[in-house]
């Protein structure tokens, strides 16, 4: 299914039903008094988390959601029926903004969590409400209130324990295929991945964690070049970043690629640049061990912060299993903390 991570919708809650103006009229009862009932409340609109959804694509086809109005009050002291509330299903990880004010309304992270986004209008009062010792036949009623109307911007940020990042064509999608059941598109050209992919990595029978693969980043990504800001935001919920590097190039170029990604992370969000990040030297099957060890020593001498470095081959699976075990153990340690 096509991954769509942003949508704009309009929600219109229902209007409250008007109160009724009525007097009791029965045989042999000339002045029966007021008996107009209240109206019913208008329907409210809620967003409801549905674990079965993983995209906002449905909102590309329907953008207007209206709840029903409350029923008007009736004679004989009968109240109007309250309108049913309207529930709109969204995926886990949906951020909800008021598009007109850019205010964050809610962050939906849990199964079956619901968020009120438009309050239904209150009902009007019938004339029976205004009967008093002074006024025995009131002709006063109140109208139902209008429901709340809002323009909403929905953003989906994927929920994953681990995020993959790197320059285009470094083998992120191949790595995701190698360690999980995910089947992202793989090709020998840049930007094969154009939407984020999620993969569940099984460590044992009951143990697993989730990896998010975002499209490759290029210089200027933090400023939106190549839709960089649209992709970087998906790393915000991850705990660990796995930075894949293509080692089939000069060691100076490998280092430059690493620094470019570091710069983009810092420019986009300082908190993102401070996340735990491991370096994965991919395509080890194409180089002799001596050159790989030489590259590792070179990188350790150049990188200011101490960083974990792993040598892997997404194609053959070499080094991937050990990396997965270490990743899972790190996740468990963080949960204990």
CA–CA distance, 240 with 232 (Å, rounded to integer): 14
pLDDT tens digit sequence for 215-270: 655 444 334 443 434 567 777 778 899 999 999 999 999 999 998 888 888 887 77
pLDDT tens digit sequence for 289-322: 999 999 999 998 888 667 899 999 999 999 999 9
Do residue 284 and residue 150 come from a single domain?
Answer: no
Do residue 307 and residue 186 come from a single domain?
Answer: yes
Do residue 214 and residue 78 come from a single domain?
Answer: no
Model confidence band, residue 154 (pLDDT cutoffs 50, 70, 90): very high
Do residue 117 and residue 15 come from a single domain?
Answer: yes
Q: Find out whether 229 and 268 touch, Cβ atoms under 8 Å.
A: yes
Do residue 147 and residue 186 come from a single domain?
Answer: no
Last residue of a domain, one of 104, 135, 156: 156
How many Cα atoms within 13 Å fall on the side-chain side of residue 20? 22
Q: Which domain holds residue 61?
A: 1-156
The answer to whether the predicted template modeling score (pTM) of the entire model surpasses 0.85 is: no
| Percent of the chain residues topping a pLDDT of 70 | 88
Q: Find out whether 214 and 196 touch, Cβ atoms under 8 Å.
A: yes
CA–CA distance, 231 with 238 (Å, rounded to integer): 13
Beta bridge partners of 310: 280
- Tokens 């009229």 map to which residue? 25
Do residue 150 and residue 169 come from a single domain?
Answer: no
Helix intervals (H) in the chain: 172-179, 228-232, 251-268, 270-273, 289-302, 320-336
Do residue 61 and residue 15 come from a single domain?
Answer: yes
CATH code for the domain of 263? 3.40.50.300
DSSP structure class, residue 221 = G
Across 109-146, where does the E strand assignment appear? 114-118
pLDDT tens digit sequence for 91-145: 888 999 999 999 999 999 888 999 999 999 999 999 999 999 899 889 999 999 9
- Tokens 């209130």 map to which residue? 145
CATH code for the domain of 123? 2.70.210.12
Do residue 117 and residue 253 come from a single domain?
Answer: no
Do residue 213 and residue 321 come from a single domain?
Answer: yes
Number of domains in the chain: 2
Across the chain, where does the E strand assignment appear? 6-12, 45-49, 64-66, 86-90, 94-98, 103-108, 114-118, 149-156, 162-165, 197-202, 208-213, 240-246, 276-282, 309-311
Q: Find out whether 23 and 112 touch, Cβ atoms under 8 Å.
A: no
Last residue of a domain, one of 156, 185, 218: 156
Do residue 186 and residue 323 come from a single domain?
Answer: yes
Do residue 145 and residue 253 come from a single domain?
Answer: no
CA–chain centroid gap for 317, Å, is: 32
Do residue 99 and residue 133 come from a single domain?
Answer: yes
């Amino acid at each position: 299914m096509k991954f769509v991570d942003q949508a704009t919708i309009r929600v219109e809650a229902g209007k409250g039903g008007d109160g009724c103006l009525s007097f009791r009229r029965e045989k042999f009862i000339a002045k029966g008094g007021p008996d107009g009932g209240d109206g019913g409340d208008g329907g409210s609109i809620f967003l409801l988390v549905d674990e079965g959804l993983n995209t906002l694509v449905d909102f590309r086809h329907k953008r207007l959601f209206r709840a029903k109005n409350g029923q008007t009050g009736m004679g004989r002291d009968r109240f109007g029926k309250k309108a049913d509330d309207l529930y709109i299903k969204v995926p886990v990880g949906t951020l909800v903004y008021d598009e007109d004010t850019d205010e964050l309304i809610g962050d939906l992270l849990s199964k079956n969590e619901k968020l009120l986004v438009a309050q239904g209008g209150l009902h009007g009062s019938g004339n029976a409400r205004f009967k008093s010792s002074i006024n025995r036949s009131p002709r006063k009623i109140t109208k139902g209130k209008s429901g709340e109307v809002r323009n909403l911007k929905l953003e989906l940020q994927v929920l994953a324990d681990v995020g993959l990042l790197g320059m285009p064509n470094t083998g992120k999608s191949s790595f995701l295929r190698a360690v999980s059941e995910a089947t992202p598109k793989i090709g020998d050209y840049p930007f094969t991945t154009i939407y984020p992919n999620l993969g569940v990595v099984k460590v044992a029978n009951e143990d697993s964690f989730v990896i998010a693969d975002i499209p490759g980043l290029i210089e200027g990504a933090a400023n939106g070049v190549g839709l960089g800001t649209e992709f970087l935001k998906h790393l915000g919920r991850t705990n660990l970043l796995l930075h894949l590097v293509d080692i089939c190039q000069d060691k100076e170029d490998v280092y430059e690629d690493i620094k470019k990604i570091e710069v983009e992370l810092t420019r986009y969000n300082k908190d993102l640049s401070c996340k735990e990040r491991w370096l994965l030297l991919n395509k080890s099957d194409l180089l002799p061990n001596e050159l790989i060890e030489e590259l590792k020593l070179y990188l350790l001498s150049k990188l200011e912060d101490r960083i974990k470095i792993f040598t892997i081959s997404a194609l053959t699976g070499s080094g991937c299993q050990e990396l997965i075990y270490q990743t899972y153990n790190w996740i468990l340690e963080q949960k204990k903390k």
